[in-house]
Protein backbone atom coordinates (compact mmCIF):
# COMPACT_ATOMS: atom_id res chain seq x y z
CA UNK A 1 0.00 0.00 0.00
CA UNK A 2 1.55 3.27 -1.10
CA UNK A 3 1.82 6.13 1.36
CA UNK A 4 -0.34 9.16 0.86
CA UNK A 5 1.92 12.12 0.17
CA UNK A 6 1.42 15.39 1.96
CA UNK A 7 0.45 18.33 -0.24
CA UNK A 8 3.44 20.56 -1.00
CA UNK A 9 3.90 23.43 1.41
CA UNK A 10 2.82 26.76 -0.06
CA UNK A 11 5.21 29.67 0.08
CA UNK A 12 4.70 33.39 -0.32
CA UNK A 13 7.21 36.00 -1.41
CA UNK A 14 7.08 39.40 0.22
CA UNK A 15 8.85 42.25 -1.63
CA UNK A 16 10.33 44.99 0.55
CA UNK A 17 11.99 48.23 -0.56
CA UNK A 18 14.44 49.90 1.83
CA UNK A 19 13.14 53.42 2.36
CA UNK A 20 15.43 56.39 3.18
CA UNK A 21 14.36 56.38 6.84
CA UNK A 22 15.81 52.86 7.24
CA UNK A 23 19.04 53.44 5.29
CA UNK A 24 21.91 51.77 7.16
CA UNK A 25 19.71 49.56 9.35
CA UNK A 26 20.95 46.08 10.21
CA UNK A 27 19.08 43.50 8.17
CA UNK A 28 17.34 42.03 11.23
CA UNK A 29 16.29 45.46 12.49
CA UNK A 30 14.97 46.40 9.03
CA UNK A 31 12.86 43.22 8.81
CA UNK A 32 11.50 43.72 12.34
CA UNK A 33 10.53 47.30 11.55
CA UNK A 34 8.75 46.37 8.32
CA UNK A 35 6.90 43.29 9.60
CA UNK A 36 6.04 44.45 13.08
CA UNK A 37 4.69 41.24 14.58
CA UNK A 38 7.78 39.16 13.82
CA UNK A 39 9.76 38.53 16.97
CA UNK A 40 13.54 38.91 16.90
CA UNK A 41 13.86 35.12 17.17
CA UNK A 42 11.67 34.58 14.11
CA UNK A 43 13.55 37.24 12.15
CA UNK A 44 16.86 35.54 12.98
CA UNK A 45 15.47 32.18 11.87
CA UNK A 46 14.27 33.65 8.56
CA UNK A 47 17.76 35.03 7.86
CA UNK A 48 19.55 31.84 9.00
CA UNK A 49 17.31 29.72 6.76
CA UNK A 50 18.26 31.68 3.65
CA UNK A 51 14.80 33.15 3.14
CA UNK A 52 15.96 36.71 2.36
CA UNK A 53 17.47 37.61 -0.99
CA UNK A 54 18.16 40.58 -3.20
CA UNK A 55 15.43 41.04 -5.80
CA UNK A 56 17.79 42.02 -8.64
CA UNK A 57 20.63 39.49 -8.28
CA UNK A 58 19.03 36.71 -6.25
CA UNK A 59 21.89 36.88 -3.73
CA UNK A 60 20.84 35.27 -0.45
CA UNK A 61 21.53 37.40 2.62
CA UNK A 62 22.70 35.26 5.53
CA UNK A 63 24.09 37.81 8.01
CA UNK A 64 21.59 39.50 10.31
CA UNK A 65 24.16 42.22 10.99
CA UNK A 66 24.48 43.17 7.31
CA UNK A 67 23.52 46.79 6.59
CA UNK A 68 20.79 47.62 4.08
CA UNK A 69 20.76 50.72 1.92
CA UNK A 70 17.96 53.00 0.71
CA UNK A 71 16.53 51.84 -2.60
CA UNK A 72 17.55 48.21 -2.20
CA UNK A 73 14.82 45.72 -3.14
CA UNK A 74 14.66 42.58 -1.00
CA UNK A 75 12.40 39.54 -1.14
CA UNK A 76 11.40 37.38 1.84
CA UNK A 77 10.26 33.82 1.12
CA UNK A 78 8.09 32.39 3.87
CA UNK A 79 5.65 29.51 4.30
CA UNK A 80 2.16 30.80 3.58
CA UNK A 81 0.46 31.47 6.93
CA UNK A 82 -2.81 29.91 7.91
CA UNK A 83 -4.74 33.10 7.74
CA UNK A 84 -7.63 34.00 10.03
CA UNK A 85 -11.03 34.08 8.36
CA UNK A 86 -12.16 37.57 7.35
CA UNK A 87 -14.91 39.10 5.22
CA UNK A 88 -13.32 39.03 1.75
CA UNK A 89 -15.50 41.76 0.32
CA UNK A 90 -16.26 45.46 0.42
CA UNK A 91 -19.16 47.70 -0.56
CA UNK A 92 -18.54 50.19 -3.34
CA UNK A 93 -19.90 53.62 -2.43
CA UNK A 94 -18.84 55.63 -5.49
CA UNK A 95 -16.67 55.37 -8.58
CA UNK A 96 -15.73 57.61 -11.48
CA UNK A 97 -12.61 57.88 -13.66
CA UNK A 98 -10.51 59.50 -10.92
CA UNK A 99 -12.02 58.32 -7.64
CA UNK A 100 -13.06 55.05 -6.02
CA UNK A 101 -14.75 55.07 -2.61
CA UNK A 102 -15.53 51.94 -0.60
CA UNK A 103 -16.92 50.86 2.76
CA UNK A 104 -14.31 48.52 4.25
CA UNK A 105 -15.57 45.83 6.64
CA UNK A 106 -14.02 45.39 10.07
CA UNK A 107 -11.40 42.63 10.28
CA UNK A 108 -10.07 43.03 6.73
CA UNK A 109 -6.45 44.28 6.73
CA UNK A 110 -5.53 46.63 3.91
CA UNK A 111 -1.99 45.26 3.34
CA UNK A 112 -0.16 41.95 3.87
CA UNK A 113 1.44 41.37 7.28
CA UNK A 114 2.96 38.53 9.28
CA UNK A 115 -0.51 36.98 9.79
CA UNK A 116 -2.29 38.02 6.59
CA UNK A 117 -1.18 37.63 2.99
CA UNK A 118 -4.10 36.78 0.73
CA UNK A 119 -6.84 37.79 3.16
CA UNK A 120 -6.26 41.49 2.54
CA UNK A 121 -8.06 44.37 0.87
CA UNK A 122 -5.29 44.66 -1.73
CA UNK A 123 -5.89 41.02 -2.74
CA UNK A 124 -9.70 41.46 -2.73
CA UNK A 125 -9.29 44.43 -5.09
CA UNK A 126 -7.12 42.32 -7.44
CA UNK A 127 -9.63 39.47 -7.40
CA UNK A 128 -12.63 41.74 -7.94
CA UNK A 129 -11.22 44.35 -10.35
CA UNK A 130 -8.32 42.47 -11.96
CA UNK A 131 -4.57 42.56 -11.24
CA UNK A 132 -4.08 45.70 -13.34
CA UNK A 133 -6.95 47.69 -11.83
CA UNK A 134 -4.73 50.74 -11.28
CA UNK A 135 -6.33 52.01 -8.05
CA UNK A 136 -4.01 53.20 -5.27
CA UNK A 137 -5.27 53.80 -1.71
CA UNK A 138 -4.87 57.37 -0.54
CA UNK A 139 -4.88 56.50 3.19
CA UNK A 140 -5.31 53.52 5.48
CA UNK A 141 -7.63 52.16 8.11
CA UNK A 142 -6.65 49.77 10.90
CA UNK A 143 -7.69 46.17 10.34
CA UNK A 144 -10.54 46.26 12.86
CA UNK A 145 -11.77 49.72 11.82
CA UNK A 146 -14.62 49.80 9.30
CA UNK A 147 -15.84 52.54 7.04
CA UNK A 148 -14.98 54.96 4.25
CA UNK A 149 -11.76 54.57 2.27
CA UNK A 150 -10.82 56.44 -0.91
CA UNK A 151 -8.58 55.49 -3.83
CA UNK A 152 -7.15 57.37 -6.80
CA UNK A 153 -5.54 56.33 -10.03
CA UNK A 154 -1.96 55.16 -9.62
CA UNK A 155 0.46 57.80 -10.99
CA UNK A 156 -2.56 60.04 -11.47
CA UNK A 157 -5.36 61.20 -9.18
CA UNK A 158 -3.93 59.24 -6.23
CA UNK A 159 -1.17 61.86 -5.95
CA UNK A 160 -3.71 64.68 -5.55
CA UNK A 161 -5.64 62.69 -2.95
CA UNK A 162 -2.54 61.94 -0.89
CA UNK A 163 -1.55 65.61 -1.00
CA UNK A 164 -5.04 66.52 0.23
CA UNK A 165 -4.63 64.19 3.22
CA UNK A 166 -1.13 65.48 3.99
CA UNK A 167 -2.31 69.07 3.60
CA UNK A 168 -5.23 68.48 6.00
CA UNK A 169 -7.76 69.34 3.30
CA UNK A 170 -9.76 66.21 4.19
CA UNK A 171 -12.30 66.30 7.02
CA UNK A 172 -12.66 62.93 8.73
CA UNK A 173 -15.59 61.94 10.92
CA UNK A 174 -15.44 58.80 13.04
CA UNK A 175 -17.97 57.19 15.33
CA UNK A 176 -16.87 55.11 18.30
CA UNK A 177 -18.27 53.31 21.29
CA UNK A 178 -16.17 54.06 24.35
CA UNK A 179 -16.17 52.77 27.90
CA UNK A 180 -17.70 54.93 30.59
CA UNK A 181 -20.07 57.90 30.63
CA UNK A 182 -18.69 60.70 28.51
CA UNK A 183 -20.69 63.94 28.85
CA UNK A 184 -18.83 66.97 27.47
CA UNK A 185 -17.10 67.81 24.22
CA UNK A 186 -13.32 67.84 24.58
CA UNK A 187 -10.33 68.59 22.38
CA UNK A 188 -7.47 66.18 23.06
CA UNK A 189 -4.12 67.72 22.13
CA UNK A 190 -1.47 65.09 22.91
CA UNK A 191 1.56 64.47 20.65
CA UNK A 192 2.11 60.82 19.75
CA UNK A 193 4.93 58.43 18.95
CA UNK A 194 5.92 54.87 19.67
CA UNK A 195 4.85 54.14 23.24
CA UNK A 196 7.69 54.80 25.66
CA UNK A 197 8.66 51.69 27.62
CA UNK A 198 6.28 49.39 25.73
CA UNK A 199 7.33 45.90 24.69
CA UNK A 200 4.86 46.03 21.78
CA UNK A 201 6.51 47.53 18.69
CA UNK A 202 3.27 48.67 17.04
CA UNK A 203 1.91 50.39 20.15
CA UNK A 204 1.65 54.18 20.14
CA UNK A 205 1.47 56.54 23.09
CA UNK A 206 2.04 60.08 24.35
CA UNK A 207 5.52 61.33 23.42
CA UNK A 208 6.61 64.96 23.92
CA UNK A 209 7.49 66.78 20.71
CA UNK A 210 10.93 67.45 22.19
CA UNK A 211 11.42 63.67 22.42
CA UNK A 212 10.31 63.01 18.84
CA UNK A 213 6.53 62.92 19.22
CA UNK A 214 4.34 64.28 16.44
CA UNK A 215 1.57 66.82 17.11
CA UNK A 216 -1.86 65.17 17.26
CA UNK A 217 -5.28 66.58 18.10
CA UNK A 218 -8.78 65.08 18.17
CA UNK A 219 -12.11 66.66 19.08
CA UNK A 220 -14.57 64.25 20.70
CA UNK A 221 -18.30 64.88 21.20
CA UNK A 222 -20.71 62.56 23.07
CA UNK A 223 -23.87 61.54 21.16
CA UNK A 224 -25.69 58.84 23.13
CA UNK A 225 -25.31 56.78 26.30
CA UNK A 226 -26.04 53.12 26.91
CA UNK A 227 -24.75 49.87 28.41
CA UNK A 228 -22.58 47.01 27.22
CA UNK A 229 -22.01 43.95 29.39
CA UNK A 230 -23.83 45.81 32.18
CA UNK A 231 -21.30 48.64 32.12
CA UNK A 232 -21.82 52.22 30.84
CA UNK A 233 -20.72 53.08 27.32
CA UNK A 234 -20.97 56.24 25.22
CA UNK A 235 -21.35 56.68 21.49
CA UNK A 236 -19.03 59.52 20.47
CA UNK A 237 -18.14 61.44 17.34
CA UNK A 238 -14.38 61.87 16.87
CA UNK A 239 -12.93 64.51 14.54
CA UNK A 240 -9.17 64.04 14.11
CA UNK A 241 -7.24 67.12 13.02
CA UNK A 242 -4.15 65.04 12.27
CA UNK A 243 -3.70 61.49 11.01
CA UNK A 244 -1.26 59.75 13.33
CA UNK A 245 -1.18 55.98 13.67
CA UNK A 246 -3.87 54.77 16.10
CA UNK A 247 -4.54 58.42 16.97
CA UNK A 248 -8.20 58.23 17.99
CA UNK A 249 -7.74 55.00 19.92
CA UNK A 250 -4.75 56.34 21.87
CA UNK A 251 -6.35 59.71 22.59
CA UNK A 252 -9.55 58.12 23.90
CA UNK A 253 -7.61 55.67 26.06
CA UNK A 254 -5.52 58.54 27.44
CA UNK A 255 -8.60 60.33 28.79
CA UNK A 256 -9.92 57.13 30.38
CA UNK A 257 -12.47 56.19 27.71
CA UNK A 258 -10.90 53.40 25.64
CA UNK A 259 -12.72 52.18 22.55
CA UNK A 260 -14.93 49.18 23.30
CA UNK A 261 -13.27 46.00 22.02
CA UNK A 262 -9.80 47.54 21.67
CA UNK A 263 -7.35 44.71 22.32
CA UNK A 264 -4.26 46.92 22.31
CA UNK A 265 -5.36 50.01 24.25
CA UNK A 266 -8.35 48.68 26.19
CA UNK A 267 -6.51 45.98 28.18
CA UNK A 268 -3.31 45.79 30.21
CA UNK A 269 -0.32 45.37 27.87
CA UNK A 270 0.42 41.93 29.33
CA UNK A 271 -2.79 40.59 27.77
CA UNK A 272 -1.76 41.61 24.24
CA UNK A 273 1.77 40.30 24.81
CA UNK A 274 0.25 36.86 25.34
CA UNK A 275 -0.80 37.03 21.69
CA UNK A 276 2.49 38.44 20.37
CA UNK A 277 4.83 36.22 22.39
CA UNK A 278 2.78 33.54 24.07
CA UNK A 279 0.71 32.12 21.22
CA UNK A 280 -2.67 33.17 22.59
CA UNK A 281 -5.33 33.53 19.90
CA UNK A 282 -6.55 37.02 19.08
CA UNK A 283 -10.18 35.90 19.17
CA UNK A 284 -9.70 34.90 22.82
CA UNK A 285 -8.96 38.54 23.63
CA UNK A 286 -12.11 39.45 21.71
CA UNK A 287 -14.11 37.04 23.83
CA UNK A 288 -12.58 38.58 26.97
CA UNK A 289 -13.68 42.02 25.80
CA UNK A 290 -17.09 40.84 24.60
CA UNK A 291 -16.54 42.06 21.02
CA UNK A 292 -14.39 40.59 18.24
CA UNK A 293 -13.67 43.98 16.67
CA UNK A 294 -12.98 47.38 18.14
CA UNK A 295 -15.93 49.75 17.93
CA UNK A 296 -14.39 52.43 15.71
CA UNK A 297 -15.94 53.35 12.36
CA UNK A 298 -14.89 55.84 9.68
CA UNK A 299 -18.34 57.33 9.14
CA UNK A 300 -17.61 60.15 6.66
CA UNK A 301 -14.92 61.80 4.56
CA UNK A 302 -15.21 65.25 3.03
CA UNK A 303 -12.54 66.12 0.49
CA UNK A 304 -11.77 68.00 -2.74
CA UNK A 305 -12.48 65.82 -5.77
CA UNK A 306 -9.05 65.00 -7.30
CA UNK A 307 -10.20 65.96 -10.81
CA UNK A 308 -12.65 68.84 -10.39
CA UNK A 309 -11.58 70.24 -7.01
CA UNK A 310 -15.24 70.41 -5.94
CA UNK A 311 -15.95 69.42 -2.33
CA UNK A 312 -17.52 65.97 -2.09
CA UNK A 313 -18.63 63.92 0.91
CA UNK A 314 -19.01 60.16 1.30
CA UNK A 315 -20.56 58.27 4.20
CA UNK A 316 -20.75 54.69 5.44
CA UNK A 317 -23.54 53.51 7.77
CA UNK A 318 -22.88 52.49 11.38
CA UNK A 319 -22.31 48.70 11.24
CA UNK A 320 -25.11 46.41 12.39
CA UNK A 321 -22.98 44.64 15.04
CA UNK A 322 -22.29 48.00 16.69
CA UNK A 323 -25.85 49.28 16.25
CA UNK A 324 -26.95 46.19 18.21
CA UNK A 325 -25.07 47.69 21.18
CA UNK A 326 -26.01 51.34 20.67
CA UNK A 327 -27.44 53.01 17.57
CA UNK A 328 -26.69 56.63 16.57
Distant-in-sequence, close-in-space partners of 138: CB < 8 Å, separation ≥ 6? 150, 151, 152, 158, 161, 162, 164, 165
3 state SS of 125: helix
Active site residue 96: no
CA 264 to chain centre: 12
Distant-in-sequence, close-in-space partners of 48: CB < 8 Å, separation ≥ 6? 62, 64
Q: Is 52:76 a contact under the CB 8 Å cutoff?
A: yes
Query: Per the residue annotation, which of 28, 103, 142, 262 is the catalytic one?
Result: 142
3 state SS of 101: strand
Q: Is 210:263 a contact under the CB 8 Å cutoff?
A: no
What are the helix (H) ranges across 5-57? Answer: 27-34, 40-48
Catalytic residue positions, numbered: 142
Amino acid sequence: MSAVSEPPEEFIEIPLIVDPARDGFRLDRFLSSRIARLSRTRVQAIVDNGQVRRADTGEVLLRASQRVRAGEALVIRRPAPREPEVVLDYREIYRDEALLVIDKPAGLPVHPSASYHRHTLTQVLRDRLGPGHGWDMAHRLDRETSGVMVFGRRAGSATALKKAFLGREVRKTYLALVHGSFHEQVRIDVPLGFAIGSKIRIKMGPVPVAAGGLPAATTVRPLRHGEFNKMPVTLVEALPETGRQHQIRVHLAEIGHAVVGDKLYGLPEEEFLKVVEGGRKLHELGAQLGLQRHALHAAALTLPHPASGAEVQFTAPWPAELAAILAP
